[in-house]
């Protein structure tokens, strides 16, 4: 199944552009939310932290991720209006970068185009190479939606 895969992030910049491109190409559109699971490795330097404090932090991050999913799902569906769209939430594993999971999903779903905000404001992606790895590894063209420049 081919279609446009819109990577959802906190900036929300990719949503409108993804929907527009999908209408233009006459293709289906899927909003993709990826749960960040890299925190356990990222905070690997907290050697002397108590286990309770680490667990509390991981629960806190999980709450944030769930809230982000709910928020982005609502924003995506509201922006789509009457356009039929699909929303998918997936998890990257704790060794994957968030963009690796996007590439995996694009490959498995046979996406024809990925639309993604640049910079990608989700989880640890800004600390981990952002969209560069996505552009390098994507199985299909990637449309990056940057910040609008002031006139």
Partner 1 sequence: MEDKGVFGKIIAILPGLALMVGTLWVLRTWVEPWMANTVLFGQKGWLVKVLSLNYILLAIIVGMLYRNLLFGGKIPAWAEEGFRTTRLFIKAGVIMLGSLYTIQSLAKVGGIAILLIMTFVFGTIFFVMFLGRLMGMDRSLIGVMAAACGVCGVSAAVATSPAVKAKPSDVALVIATILGFGIMTMFVSPFVGKALQMSDYQFGAWVGTGILNSGQVLATCLAFNPTIAPGTAVAYGEIWNVVRVISIPFVVFFITMWFWRAEAQAEHLSLAGILKDKFPIFVIGFFGMTFLSSVGAIGAEGSNTLHLMRDVMSWIFGIGLVGQGAYIDIREIKTAGGKPLKVGLAAGCLKYVVALLVVMFFVSKESSF
User: Smallest distance from the beta carbon of 8 to partner 1, in angstroms?
Assistant: 15
Our finding on whether 97 is near partner 1 (CB under 8 A) is: yes
Our finding on whether 33 is near partner 1 (CB under 8 A) is: no
**Residue 29 CB contacts under 8 Å (≥ 6 apart), including other chains:** 3, 4, 5, 6, 18, 19, 22, 80, 83, 85, 86
Which of 2, 16, 23, 64 contacts partner 1 by CB under 8 A? 64
Our finding on whether 135 is near partner 1 (CB under 8 A) is: no
Q: Which stretch binds partner 1 (CB under 8 A): 18-26, 33-41, 78-86, 109-117?
A: 33-41
**Rounded Cα gap, residues 131 and 13, in angstroms:** 14
**Rounded Cα gap, residues 11 and 117, in angstroms:** 7
Alpha carbon distances (Å) from 116 to 52, 72, 94, 120: 36, 14, 22, 7
Q: Which stretch binds partner 1 (CB under 8 A): 15-23, 52-60, 71-79, 104-112?
A: 52-60
Asked whether 30 and 6 are in contact (CB, 8 A), the reply is yes
| Backbone phi, psi, residue 86, to 5° | -120, 145
Q: Which stretch binds partner 1 (CB under 8 A): 11-19, 53-61, 82-90, 106-114?
A: 53-61
Which positions touch partner 1 (CB under 8 A)?
A: 36, 39, 41-54, 56-57, 59-61, 64, 95, 97, 121, 123-124, 126-129
């Amino acid at each position: 199944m081919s279609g446009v895969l819109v990577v959802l992030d906190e900036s929300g910049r990719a949503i409108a552009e993804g929907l527009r491109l999908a209408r233009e190409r006459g293709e289906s559109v899927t909003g993709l939310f990826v749960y960040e699971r890299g925190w356990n490795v990222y905070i690997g330097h907290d050697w002397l932290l108590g286990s309770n404090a680490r667990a509390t932090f991981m629960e806190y991050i999980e709450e944030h991720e769930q809230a982000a999913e709910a928020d982005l799902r609502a924003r995506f569906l509201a922006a789509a209006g009457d356009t039929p769209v699909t929303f998918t939430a997936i998890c990257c594993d704790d060794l994957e970068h968030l963009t690796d999971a996007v590439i995996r999903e694009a490959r498995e779903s046979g996406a024809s185009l990925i639309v993604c905000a640049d910079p990608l404001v989700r989880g640890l992606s800004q600390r981990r190479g952002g969209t560069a790895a996505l552009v390098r590894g994507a199985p299909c063209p990637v449309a990056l939606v940057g910040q609008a420049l002031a006139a």
